[in-house]
Amino acid sequence: MTKKSANPKKKNANYDYDVIIIGTGPGGEGTAMELAKKYKKVAIVERHKDVGGGCTHWGTIPSKALRQSVSRLIDYNSNPLFRGHEKAKHLTFPDILKHASSVIHKQVQLRSGFYDRNRVEHIVGEASFIDEHTLKIVKDDASVDELSARQIVIATGSRPYKPADIDFNHPRVYDSDTILSLKHDPRSIIIYGAGVIGSEYASIFRGLGVKVDLINTRDRLLSFLDDEMSDSLSYHLWNNGVVIRHGEQIERVEANDDAVIVHLESGKKMRADCLLFANGRTGNTADLNLQNAGLKADGRGQLKVNDQYQTTVSNIYAVGDVIGYPSLASAAYDQGRLAASAMIDNQSTAKLIEDIPTGIYTIPEISSVGKTEQELTEAKIPYEVGRSQFKHLARAQITNSVVGSLKILFHRDTKEILGIHCFGENAAEIIHIGQAIMQQKNGGNNIEYFVNTTFNYPTMAEAFRVAALNGLNRLF
Q: Domain containing 252 — which CATH number?
A: 3.50.50.60
Nearest to 61 by CA among 10, 23, 103: 103
Count how many residues are written for the chain: 476
**Angle (nearest 5°) at CA 329 between 225 and 123:** 160
Shared-domain flag, residues 269 and 377: no
Q: Which pairing describes strands 17-22 and 42-46: parallel, antiparallel, or unpaired?
A: parallel
17 and 138 share one domain: yes
- In the annotated binding site, the residues are 46-55, 64, 156-158, 193-200, 280, 321
Residues 132 and 33 occupy one common structural domain = yes
Range of the domain at 467: 364-472
Q: Which of 279, 304, 331 represents a domain boundary (last residue)?
A: 279
Residue 256 resides in a domain: yes
pLDDT in tens, 178-222: 999 998 899 999 999 999 999 999 999 999 999 999 999 999 999
Cα–Cα distances in angstroms (integers) from residue 36 to residues 42, 49, 127, 143, 290, in the given order = 7, 21, 21, 28, 26
CB-CB contact of 49 with 24 (8 Å)? no
Residues 463 and 377 in one domain: yes
User: What is the band of 250 on the pLDDT scale with cuts at 50, 70, 90?
Assistant: very high
- Are 471 and 385 within 8 A, CB to CB? yes
Same domain assignment for residues 94 and 150: yes
Per-residue pLDDT of 28-60, as tens digits, reads 999 999 999 999 999 999 999 999 999 999 999
Task: Name, in order, each residue with C-beta under 8 angstroms of 374's C-beta and a sequence gap of 6 or more.
Answer: 226, 227
- Alpha helix locations (H) across 382-421? 394-399
Q: Is residue 359 part of a domain?
A: no
Number of folded domains that form the chain: 3
Give the mean model confidence (pLDDT) for residues 69-78: 89
Instruction: Pick out the residues of the known binding site for NAD(+).
Output: 193-200, 280
Count other Cβ atoms within 10 Å, centred on residue 162.
17
Q: What's the average model confidence in pLDDT over 381-404?
A: 96
Question: Is 352 inside any structural domain?
Answer: no
Are the beta carbons of 68 and 98 closer than 8 angstroms? no
| Whole-number Å distance between alpha carbons of 476 and 474 | 7
Among residues 237, 257, 279, the one where a domain terminates is 279
Task: State the CATH number of the domain containing residue 466.
Answer: 3.30.390.30
Annotated binding site for FAD: 46-55, 64, 156-158, 321
Report how far residue 138's alpha carbon sits from residue 310's, in angstroms, rounded to the nearest whole number: 26
Inside any domain, residue 2 = no
pLDDT at 261 over 70: yes
426, 399 in Cβ contact below 8 A? no
For the entire predicted model, the pTM comes to: 0.92
Instruction: Indicate if 12 and 141 belong to the same structural domain.
Output: yes
pLDDT of residue 81: 75
Same domain, 189 and 88: no
Provide the angle, in degrees to the nearest 10, between the axes of the packed helices 227-239 and 196-207.
30
Torsion of CA 222, 228, 233, 239, to 10 degrees: 140
Specify if 350 maps to a domain.
no
Q: Are residues 225 and 289 in the same domain?
A: no
Regarding whether 217 and 146 lie in a shared domain, the answer is no
d(CA 444, CA 235): 36
Instruction: Look at residue 284 in the predicted model and tell me its pLDDT.
Output: 96
Last residue of a domain, one of 279, 309, 327: 279
Please, are residues 203 and 362 in contact by the beta-carbon 8 Å criterion?
yes
**pLDDT tens-digit map of 396-424:** 999 989 999 999 999 999 999 999 999 99
